[in-house]
Chains A and B, each alone.
Chain A
Amino acid sequence: MRECEYSQISTRSSTPMETPYKKRTPKKRKWETFPGRNKFYCDGRIMMAKQTGVFYLTLVLILVTCGLFFTFDCPYLALHLTPVIPVIGGVLFLFVLGTLLRTSFSDPGVLPRATPDEAADLERQIDVANGSTGYRPPPRTKEVVINGQTVKLKYCFTCKIFRPPRASHCSLCDNCVERFDHHCPWVGNCVGRRNYRFFYMFILSLSFLTIFIFAFVITHIILRSHRNGFLTALKDSPARYPFTAQPWLVVCFFSVWSIVGLSGFHTYLISSNQTTNEDIKGSWSSKRGKDNYNPYSYGNIFTNCCAALCGPLPPSLIDRRGFIESDAPQLAPPANGITMYGATQSQQSHMVSLYTVS
């Protein structure tokens, strides 16, 4: 019944005879054979890092805090102040949730790994440049001059590519990511070129939301305390208003400051067109040398901000929902017999193995 038995015999061998039987194995989507350490949901539509525990914590914290606010504080405030307050709160809440999910679920800008032919071609070029053979050569770098500044491009041994400028390899996800900012456990994903603006919108709107909630919870206590006195109201709060209790307010206070601080930091990064990665390493700081400057900056804050937030959104390069094509022609036989993208030898191209991948 299953004809794939026949295809398995001939796939990896070097005999030139192509199987005459049409393969009946169901077509797999590319995300199922993705080499990085990512998790996929909804048939490849959603992409996250491997560890997602902290993301669920973030989600729970936001939902619980907002839930409590809308249940216990909003009725009073809507009645005694204005109903606009819950409306604004609701809009902010939805925006925060939307940007959070967009940050967590999208492809941050992962670079697909090199095809075997590409990798072999690069290896050949490096060997020619080094003049050496055999054992592992020294770390491979390539120098490029970008807008007058010399930038070193590093070779990634895992992905077998020279990393484009500003790309970095995330060790948690085991992927090279374009314009790598950082890996954020709170959103359960890397933050890179494709989702940085969503991440920034998320922390910015979250700052507004937390300040908003904090301010109106205080307002609520103050209004209620006009009858009894402020301190009495605070003292009473564990019993009468269990969720506006002092310890909870303290937690809110510190989380507000950390999120606001983070938003401030990223606003600085955006206005100078740097990534967290570059800032931490001090890549463009003047301490490295008098002539060291950021070659990617557009020169003024406004343009930098617009470019980061309103620039075009590049497409995903990994095509996670595409089907794996099993008949792509290849030049050199793959090193360990395992082809990452499911390509098999479908032509008599063994005659043209120009070089072996060691």
Chain B
Amino acid sequence: LFHNLQELRHSASLANKVFIQRDYSEGTTCKFQTKFPSELESRIERTLFEDTVKTLNNYYAEAEKIGGQSYLEGCLACATAYLIFLCMETRYEKVLKKIAKYIQEQNEKIYAPRGLLITDPIERGMRVIEISIYEDRGSSGSSSGSSSVSGSTAR
């Protein structure tokens, strides 16, 4: 269908959005439900979707892990009256960067070719994984719309 993200944004229209909710069964740690939503049944293979969500869950678990390294970071920060965060990035922030890269990669390789787009959960308050479903835009009457869209998209 679509060969890259640019093509997706310029020639398709937004049909629907699916929201993958948080899974709180293990407490307040960040984890998303791996249940396959019915709206995606015709668009993507179940295993690919589950892989994406499971990998994201693993990344979040790594960010929130309480262990030797996080204690070290916490004690060091306390000893410097938390001033160390002015020059150092927290472990959580490092993992979030990895996640952003992963999501972009997944979008480019797997989701955009199928007319889907994943929004990074951090942009939705870590509440949901928003997956936008695009439909191929019909050719009649919409060419002016799409050209103005591409004109005003400031990337």
Contact = CB atoms under 8 A, between A and B. Distances in A.
B28 interface: yes
B19 to A, nearest CB: 5
Nearest to A111: B125
B152 A352 contact: no
B132 interface: yes
Contacts of A22: 151-152
B13 A347 contact: yes
A306 interface: yes
Given A147-B26, A346-B152, A161 B90 contact: no
Q: Which of A20, A121, A295, A313 has the most CB of B within 10 A?
A: A313
Given A18-B145, A144-B24, A312 B66 contact: yes
B55 to A, nearest CB: 19
A347 B19 CA distance: 21
Interface in A105-130: 111-112, 114-115, 117-118, 121
B112 to A, nearest CB: 15
A contact residues, range: 35 or more
B61 to A, nearest CB: 11
Interface string B139-150: 000101100110
Contact of B19 (A118, A153, A311): A118
Contacts of A20: 148, 151
B145 A16 contact: yes
A146 B82 contact: no
A145 B28 contact: no
Interface stretch (B42-50, B71-79, B101-109): B71-79
Given A307-B66, A352-B15, A317 B122 contact: yes
A98 B78 CA distance: 11
A298 to B, nearest CB: 9
Interface string A303-319: 10011011111110111
Given A18-B145, A95-B81, A296-B28, A310 B74 contact: yes
- Grouping DSSP codes into helix (H, G, I), strand (E, B) and loop, the B interface class, with mixed when no group exceeds half, is mixed
Contacts of A331: 14, 16-17
Interface residues of B, number: 51
A102 B73 contact: no
Contact of B24 (A161, A165, A310, A315): A165
B124 A118 contact: yes
A99 interface: yes
Contact of A315 (B15, B92, B132): B92
Interface in B123-143: 123-128, 130, 132, 135, 142
B3 interface: no
Q: Which of A115, A178, A310, A312 has the most CB of B within 10 A?
A: A312
A312 B90 contact: yes
B35 interface: no
A255 interface: no
Given A112-B125, A121-B19, A313 B90 contact: yes
Contacts of B145: 16, 18, 347-348
Nearest to A295: B27
A165 B28 contact: yes
Contacts of B65: 312
B17 A117 contact: yes
Contacts of B126: 317
A303 B67 CA distance: 10
A347 B122 contact: no
Interface string A47-61: 000000000000000
B28 A179 contact: yes
A319 B124 CA distance: 11
B70 A348 contact: no
A238 interface: no
Contact of A311 (B70, B81, B85, B127): B70
22 contacts: A17-B144, A18-B148, A98-B82, A99-B81, A117-B130, A146-B27, A161-B127, A306-B66, A306-B74, A310-B75, A312-B64, A312-B65, A312-B91, A313-B85, A315-B92, A315-B93, A317-B126, A327-B154, A348-B13, A348-B142, A352-B15, A354-B16
The 10 closest A-B pairs by CB, nearest first: A310-B74, A18-B148, A98-B81, A112-B125, A310-B71, A348-B145, A317-B125, A144-B24, A349-B14, A312-B70
